[in-house]
Amino acid sequence: MNVQIEESWKEALMPEFSKDYFIRLTDFVRKEYHETTVYPPGKLIFNAFNLCPFDKVKVVIIGQDPYHGPGQAHGLCFSVNDGIQPPPSLVNIFKEINNDLGKPIPQSGNLTKWAEQGVLLLNATLTVRAHQAGSHQRRGWEEFTDAVIRKLAEEKSNLVFILWGAYAQKKGAFIDRSKHLVLTSVHPSPLSAHSGFFGNHHFSLANDYLVKNGKTAIDW
């Protein structure tokens, strides 16, 4: 599977790797990759971490599950590989950036350039069976990603956490709002985007906060 995680994250999360839940999770995931089609490719399971080292994180966006169609998932929430049609939620994210910042809507749905600037694009569950949404939920990934969020929230200050939809908001409920900026709205899904996602100005609010706290803005 060629699974690797960037060194600063490996150090930050070292206590998790020896816990019973993570050992069970590893066994389950390895078996799944061996027996069936699972996304993303094994070497991209920790892509969000590898592109955005622990000490470089400025913004955290929380998603739920990787995309489960061929060629879509590459380890970054909401993002798809170049050449893949951007899914509806991502289209709506681009529309809000256009509305908020006046930036043109990109042709590619690949958000690697965000990750490289310090945006941790974190799904709650890092793997999924092909064509079976939610198939790797409640196997231990959620506990692992809760630990990721807790580590960031406790050890860093002045981060921006972007929580779209009830699931992400529940996952980030414990974050100290006096220490970080927590932005919440409905999910960018077509089912809810018109009920408060469009017009939330999260991208400009995030950048204003970063600049106010001596950090460089994100080129969304």
Residues acting as catalytic residues:
65
Q: Which two tokens stand for residue 21?
A: 């839940």
Q: What is the CA radius of gyration of the chain?
A: 17
Distance in angstroms (rounded) separating the CA atoms of residues 81 and 207: 25
Distance in angstroms (rounded) separating the CA atoms of residues 135 and 138: 9
Cα end-to-end span (Å), the chain: 32
Instruction: List, in order, residues 6 or more apart from 128 with CB less than 8 Å away.
Output: 38, 39, 65, 66, 67, 68, 73, 134, 135, 136
- Dump the DSSP string for 154-187: HH--S-EEEEEHHHHHHHTTTS-TTTSEEEEE--
Helix (H, G, I), strand (E, B) or coil at 69: coil
